[in-house]
Amino acid sequence: MKIHNFSAGPSILPQEVMEQASAAVLELDNSGLSLIEISHRSKSFISIMEEACELALRLTGLSGKGYKALFLQGGASQQFLMTAYNLLEKKAGYINTGTWSTKAMKEAELFGKVVEIASSKDQNFNYIPEGYDIPSDLDYLHLTTNNTIFGTQYKEIPDTQVPLVADMSSDVFSRKWDYSKFDLFYAGAQKNMGPAGTTLVIVKEELLGNVSRSIPSMLDYTVQIKGGSMFNTPPVFAIFTSLLTLRWIEAQGGVEAIGKKNSIKATHLYGEIDKNSKFIGFAAQKDRSEMNATFNLVDPQLAAPFDALCEAAGISGLKGHRSVGGYRASIYNALPMKSIETLVDCMQVLEKKY
């Protein structure tokens, strides 16, 4: 049976990416060698790394604008500390929109003063805060563009005088945006780009070198840039698979075309959530995520029949995060419309039957 994979991460990747990645594990480009047994210093791998970095910059419209792309390790969680290690001298501002922002703040506190500029904690993070002042003396402002757990997403990029840093783990490459408003953004691969094991960082070079502390080599963006993301052995499989996804995005027409498809998918699902008397959306309507749709049953008693309907339809990974409960449909770039339609069908059957 065809499984419809709504998992929040690791999550669905395009089928052709899976096939190409599998083939490369057996043999890379008729070389007689596997992708995972060649030197990362070989010509073949260096060209993979270079293409992945170039493509990441091209897709975000940042080529030739003073940015560098890096493929690092340690997940987005390591970026929580690396951003602060490299950028926080005195004081940084954070917008707290959920679990991941909270964790980012906790790490940053090890390096300097952290100011919570705004928070949506008062309503269990079901909205994106608005109408706050951003002090002009911050080293940077950090935000999470898409809140994977709560299902909220920024629609507009806040205007700020200070450098803007973002965790884009769950919505990078999902829409057309003015990425040049960000001075640094990062994304763990496993939500929308590839397997776990690598993290994309895109950083404006002029942002670096402004803190007075010494930074361990592995955690120093400047060292990583100098080493071409190969200060040590990089996770070659995760980077190659991410490259395949980036090529797939470009072949689909880039982030603008992907973004249009994502909007259509999300609109279809939210339309049903709003129309269907058995369900209620979790996130504030204006802030709803086009990547993770969170919703609950009006009557929790219907969980067993709804879960059974979903299982019979081949739906996987729909369970909500424990901090929200209910359901979360992660509808990343590679999730086909067919999967949304299947979920909507199950919701409609539930409404009709009960």
Candidates 68, 100, 220, 248; catalytic one: 100
Q: Does 9 bind ligand PLP (CB under 6 A)?
A: yes
Q: How many residues bind ligand PLP (CB under 6 A)?
A: 12
Residue with smaller CB distance to ligand PLP, 100 or 248: 100
Q: Where are the beta strands (DSSP E) in the chain?
A: 4-5, 67-72, 91-96, 113-119, 141-144, 146-147, 152-153, 164-167, 184-188, 199-204, 279-281, 292-297, 315-316, 327-330
Task: Pick the binder of ligand PLP from 7, 169, 174, 294 (CB under 6 A).
Answer: 169
Q: What are phi and psi of 135, to 5 degrees?
A: -55, 145
Candidates 68, 171, 191, 287; catalytic one: 191
CB of 333 to ligand PLP, least distance (A): 14
How far is Cα 229 from Cα 236, in angstroms, rounded to an integer?
11
Residue with smaller CB distance to ligand PLP, 100 or 182: 100
Task: Pick the binder of ligand PLP from 148, 241, 294, 333 (CB under 6 A).
Answer: 148
Site for ligand PLP in 67-86 (CB under 6 A): 75-77
CB of 168 to ligand PLP, least distance (A): 8
Task: Pick the binder of ligand PLP from 107, 139, 167, 290 (CB under 6 A).
Answer: 167
CB of 300 to ligand PLP, least distance (A): 26
Would you call 307 a catalytic residue per the annotation? no
Burial group, residue 304, by CB count within 10 angstroms (0-12, 13-18, 19+): exposed
Give the Cβ contact number of residue 332 at 10 Å. 26
Specify the amino acid at residue 3: I
Which long-range contacts does 324-327 make (Cβ < 8 Å, 24+ apart)?
Answer: 324/124, 324/149, 324/150, 324/151, 324/282, 324/294, 325/296, 326/282, 326/294, 326/295, 326/296, 326/297, 327/294, 327/295, 327/296, 327/297
Binding window for ligand PLP (CB under 6 A); candidates: 64-72, 165-173, 276-284, 306-314: 165-173
CB of 10 to ligand PLP, least distance (A): 9
Residue with smaller CB distance to ligand PLP, 191 or 288: 191
Would you call 100 a catalytic residue per the annotation? yes
How far is Cα 324 from Cα 318, in angstroms, rounded to an integer?
13
The secondary structure of 172-222 as a DSSP string is: TTSS---GGG-SEEEEEGGGTTSSTT-EEEEEEGGGSS---S---GGG-HH
Per-position x/- string for 86-125, each x denoting binding to ligand PLP as judged by CB under 6 A, each - no binding: --------------x-------------------------
CB of 172 to ligand PLP, least distance (A): 10
Q: Does 188 bind ligand PLP (CB under 6 A)?
A: yes
Residue with smaller CB distance to ligand PLP, 182 or 306: 182
How far is Cα 254 from Cα 58, in angstroms, rounded to an integer?
9
Q: Does 170 bind ligand PLP (CB under 6 A)?
A: yes
Task: Pick the binder of ligand PLP from 11, 144, 160, 333 (CB under 6 A).
Answer: 144
CB of 99 to ligand PLP, least distance (A): 8
Residue with smaller CB distance to ligand PLP, 28 or 144: 144
Binding window for ligand PLP (CB under 6 A); candidates: 154-162, 167-175, 227-235, 256-264: 167-175
Would you call 167 a catalytic residue per the annotation? yes
Q: Does 294 bind ligand PLP (CB under 6 A)?
A: no
How far is Cα 178 from Cα 88, in angstroms, rounded to an integer?
24
Burial 70-101 (b: 16+ CB within 10 A, else e): bbbebbbbbbbbbbbbbbbeeebbbbbbbbbb
How far is Cα 89 from Cα 6, in angstroms, rounded to an integer?
40
CB of 34 to ligand PLP, least distance (A): 25
Summarize as ranges the residues that interact with ligand PLP (CB under 6 A). 9, 75-77, 100, 144, 148, 167, 169-170, 188, 191
Cite the active site residues: 100, 167, 191
